[in-house]
Amino acid sequence: MANSPDEEPTDTPTRNREQAEEEGAWMGQNWLRIAVVSILGLWVVALGLLQASGLINVFAPIADTQRGQWAAFAVLALVVIGIGAWSWFSPRSHRGD
């Protein structure tokens, strides 16, 4: 069973084209997952800051009180954390031969 590229570097460079393409695709998928979760996380932080400053009131249609709006924001933050955990621990993120 081969190690994932993140665990240990190989002693010799990759000379097999198929292996190089597989490792490139694997790294591309992982970087895409990181990018998506980072963008969603930044969006949630910006939304929370705008909500806290009173510039926007996004959750007003579903929550009348400020406590309810912050509860809705907390649920949104938990969803983003769940997406991050799913992308980090999904079987596809670990390369196995």
Query: According to the model, what pLDDT value does residue 29 have?
Result: 82
Residue 78: its pLDDT value, please?
93
CB 51 within 8 A of CB 68: no
The predicted pLDDT at position 24 comes to 83
pLDDT in tens, 43-53: 999 988 988 88
Whether residue 27 is contained in a domain is answered as no
pLDDT tens-digit series, residues 11-45: 667 778 888 888 888 888 888 888 888 898 899 99
Residue 10 lies in a domain: no
User: 81 lies in which domain range?
Assistant: 32-93
How many domains is the chain built from?
Answer: 1
**For residue 45, is it within any domain?**
yes
Letter string b/e over residues 85-97, b meaning 16 or more CB atoms within 10 A of that residue's CB = eebeeeeebebee
User: Does residue 70 fall inside a structural domain?
Assistant: yes
pLDDT band (50, 70, 90) for residue 65: confident
**Stretch 65-92: mean pLDDT, rounded?**
84
Please state the φ and ψ torsions of residue 2, each to the nearest 5 degrees.
Answer: -85, 150
CB 59 within 8 A of CB 53: no
CA distance 63 to 66: 8
pLDDT > 80? residue 9: no
* CA 89 and chain centroid, separation: 11
The model's confidence at residue 87, banded by pLDDT at 50, 70 and 90, is confident
